[in-house]
Amino acid sequence: MRLPSMDPGEELKELRRLILSPEQQELSELRERLGDKQLRAREVAGVLPQALKLSRAHGEELTRALQPAVEGSVRESIGSNPQIFVEALHPILGPMVRRSIAESMRRLLQSLNQTLEHTFSWRGLQWRLEAWRTGKSFAEIVMLRSLVYRVEQLFLIHRETSLSLLHVAADAAVTQDSDMVAGMLSAIQDFARDSFKTGDDAALEEFRIGEMQVWIAPGRHAYLAAVIRGNPPRELRTTLEEAIDSVHILHGAALANFQGDAAVFEPLRPELESCLRAQYQKTKGEAKRNARAWLFLGAAAALLMMAFLFAFQSHRHWRDFVKRLNAEPGVAVTAAHHHWFGPSQIAGLRDPLSTDGAALAKEAKLNPARIHFDWKDYLALDPVSVQRRFAQRFGSPKGAVVAVEGSTVNISGPAPYEWLEPIRRDGTQVPGVTSVVERDATVVYDPFLALQRFKGAFPMPPTVKGVVANGTLSLAGTAPYEWVAPVREGALRIPGITAISGDDLQVEFDPKLVQERFEARFGLPDTVNATMQNRSLVLSGEASHAWLDRVRRGASEIPGIRALDDHKVEDIDQRAFHQSKSVIESAYVYFLVNKDNFATEGFAALSRLPDEIRRCFSAAQRMGVNVSLEVRGYADAAGAEGANADLSRRRAEAVRNFLISCGLDGAMMKPLGLGAPPLPQAGEKSLPEESDRRVALRVVIQPSTP
């Protein structure tokens, strides 16, 4: 059986459908799966655990990618409902807190036992004397002399983000995950505050972990955590507190605006490394120590009263000195330690231009050599320091008053221009100065310096002398115009010169330069020669009317030209005008008898006139003269007067129409029918009769419009 034939295109479509039908169905199902979000979520949930395991095995990329999101979620959850985390961490942190409290009690009892043990021994007497001498408690002396300690590690931790900003260790081989330690310490402090219901400003200051102790020195934006082995003295806490205070002074703005980049705090590493202290007990013979103690006790007993009075007076001087030093502008004392037998210490910030601490120590009756100053340079912004810095940069002239209010420098009184000008230019570059106000200042100009500025701008010829007095520049002598001209234009722009007096100054003009100025302004046609004679410009040759008119009106404005002699210069436009006018007015167009048709010789004469009329009009235009053309028609006396008038008018119209057909403007031509020509005057030659049948042209110069 034979199937009916199909179109080849339809057969191809059917074959494509049979072959690609399974793939098209699979693509449709795949498109449907991709568009179904719930189905995709279930599929991802099925493979996500295995994907996380494989990613963990291949690297930490997934961990680093998920860490910000997980940390942000935990932080947001703690901020919204911290009770959940308190309940979750309570089983872990509760025993730790209890152990910390128990360990603190143990250290207290241990310290008390050691104090009682050494109370009735020779060493105890020596330590009691030292406690009395230094003003410390006996328990502190016992702990200081008998215990060994070492600061193992220091962590600088940001309070708000709980991130580690800087980590230093006494042993370079020790490595710790500083961020993990920072998070643990923050969690412990949060737990302690939540457990004991303390305020947000309360903080856990120390706790023990095995043989290690952790001391915390809190600050406004960050705190310092020290990991200590052994039993450290209380001075170490002061050192830590001073260190965290110094950190806030040096990098307070960076701590307040911390965005996660801890690299900016790397310069603080030396500051923290100075806190990595250690103390080791020295082993010496008991007999030697006792002998030294007896010797010291004997000397102390002999000088006890004298030392007491000296100590009281020295302490009073020291207290007054520190108070005065801290009140000094540009000085900020952060630490002051008075030592009796060693150099006292002053630490803080000092502006380089502030008063020297050694000078103040002498005034306070202290020995500057026994005081160690540890200053860190900074730029103070108080008015006194800013004024000192301003005076160091620009000086302080006599009479001028400089006052600083906030960040504004006010200048009043007489102020020299040479001092005020750099201030106007660079005054705001001084740290602490944002604006300079001089409305109450009177600018004073030194005449000698004003003259020097003038000479620098306009070097004076040897034949000129200049003096500046009361702002007026007086010039005398002889000087070329080329020097005088720029002086007149620019001298008043020189500070200190408000007027110019040249009554005694004679200006000289170089004829060659005068002629060059003339040619530069007007140009010099090739047909014109120009020379200077006694400051008079002499012209000869021929030139256009427009150029001559421009020279006649403006030549006297050229410096060095008093008069213009142009009688030897011919006006070529005027010459062309008169030549064309003469040709036009001497031509006659003749007509046939009693007709307005051109005679043969008349048409020949008329054919030559259009070009000549154009030349005449063009020359008149160049001269700036308005002209018109009268076309005068005549007829012989044979006919009646009325007929002759009409015939002469038609002959004039015929000539005008011919000239219009040649391209001339009809508005500039006026046809006139004059009838019979006038009789010749006495002495004039009579024309033949055919000459009466003519048209004559006359060029009329119109009066100029005012």
Tokens of 186: 């923050």
Whose tokens are 């039908």? That residue is 21
Output 178-185 pairs: Cβ under 8 A, ≥24 positions apart.
181/155, 181/225, 182/155, 182/157, 182/158, 182/225, 185/155, 185/157, 185/214, 185/216, 185/225
- The string of DSSP codes covering 222-274 is EEEEEEEEE---THHHHHHHHHHHHHHHHHHHHHHT--S-GGGGGGGHHHHHT
Summarised one tens digit per residue, pLDDT across range 123-132 is 667 767 777 7
pLDDT, mean over the chain: 78
Residue 589 reports pLDDT greater than 60 = yes
- pLDDT given for residue 421 in this prediction: 86
Please report which confidence band the pLDDT of residue 175 belongs to, taking 50, 70 and 90 as the band edges: low
β-strand pairing of 212-218 with 206-209: antiparallel
Contact 695, 634 (CB under 8 A): yes
Give the tokens for residue 415. 């102020």
Give, for 666, the enclosing helix (H) or strand (E): none
Average pLDDT over residues 207-223: 83
Grade residue 619 by pLDDT with cuts at 50, 70 and 90: confident
Amino acid at 93: L
Which residues does residue 209 pair with via DSSP β-bridges, in sequence order?
A: 212
Percent pLDDT > 90 in the chain is 1
Place of tokens 């007829």: 635
Give the residues across from 376 on adjacent strands: 349
Band of the pLDDT at 97, cuts 50, 70, 90? Answer: very low
pTM: 0.40
For the chain, the distance separating the N- and C-terminal CA atoms, rounded to the nearest angstrom, is 117
Q: Which residue has the higher pLDDT, 490 or 195?
A: 490
Tokens at 69, concatenated: 């999101």
Asked which of 291-305, 497-511, 601-615 is least confident by mean pLDDT, the reply is: 291-305
154 close to 224: Cβ distance less than 8 angstroms: yes
Q: With a cut of 80, say whether residue 103 has pLDDT above it.
A: no
Q: What is the mean pLDDT of residues 493-497?
A: 88
Could you report the per-residue pLDDT of 362-421, keeping only the tens digit for each?
A: 888 888 888 888 888 888 888 888 888 888 888 888 888 989 888 899 998 888 988 888
Question: For 582-588, which contacts have Cβ atoms below 8 Å and span 24 or more sequence positions?
Answer: 583/612, 584/609, 584/612, 584/613, 584/616, 584/629, 584/697, 584/699, 585/696, 585/697, 585/698, 585/699, 587/696, 587/697, 588/691, 588/694, 588/695, 588/696
Task: Give the residues across from 136 on adjacent strands.
Answer: none
Tens-place pLDDT, residues 418-455: 888 898 888 888 898 988 998 888 888 888 888 888 88
Residue 284, Ramachandran bin (φ over 0: left; ψ between -120 and 50: alpha; else beta): beta
| Mean predicted confidence (pLDDT) in 88-100 | 50
Mean pLDDT of the region 187-206: 70
Measure CA 572 to chain center.
64
Q: DSSP string spanning 500-517?
A: EEEEEEEEE--HHHHHHH
Does the pLDDT of residue 478 top 50, yes or no? yes
What's the angle, vertex CA 372, arms to CA 362 and CA 317, rounded to 5? 40
**CA 136 from centre of chain:** 58
Instruction: Tell me how far apart the alpha carbons of residues 208 and 228 are, in angstroms, rounded to a whole number.
Output: 9
Beta bridge partners of 564: 537
Provide the pLDDT confidence category of residue 99 given band limits of 50, 70 and 90.
very low
306: helix, coil or strand?
Answer: helix
Q: What are the DSSP calls for 413-480, one per residue?
A: EEEEHHHHHHHHHHGGGSTT--EEEEEEEEEE--HHHHHHHHHHHSPPPTTEEEEEETTEEEEEEEEE
DSSP bridge pairs for 411: 402
